[in-house]
Structure 1
Amino acid sequence: MSRLLSIFMIGLGTYFAYHNRYRLINVIFGNVFLRKLLVTSIMSFPLVRDRMMSSVFSSGPSEGRQ
Structure 2
Amino acid sequence: MSRMLTSIFMIGSIGYFGYRFRYRIINLLLRSGWMRRFAVGSVMSFPGVKSKMMQTVFGRYAERPSEW
TM-score interval, smaller chain: 0.7 to 0.9
Amino acid at match of 1:58: G
Give, in angstroms, the shift of residue 8 of structure 1. Answer: 2.0
In the alignment, which residue of structure 2 is the partner of 1:64? none
Quick one: distance in 2 between partners of 1:41 and 1:25? Answer: 15
Offset at residue 5 of structure 1 (A):
3.1
Tell me which residue corresponds to 1:52. 53
Gaps in structure 2 of 5+ consecutive residues: 63-68
Give the distance between the partners of 1:45 and 1:15, measured in 2 at CA.
28
Where in structure 1 are there 5+ consecutive unaligned residues?
62-66
Aligned residues: 61
Match of 2:7 in 1: 6
- Percent identical across equivalent pairs? 46
Q: TM-score, normalised by structure 1?
A: 0.75
CA distance in 2, matches of 1:29, 1:12: 23
- Alpha-carbon distance in structure 2 between the residues aligned to 1:7 and 1:44: 34
How many Å apart are 1:7 and its aligned residue? 2.4
Q: Which residue of 1 aligns with 2:28?
A: 27
Counterpart-to-counterpart distance in 1, 2:39 and 2:4: 31
Offset of 1:15 from its aligned partner? Answer: 0.9
- TM superposition score normalised by structure 2: 0.73
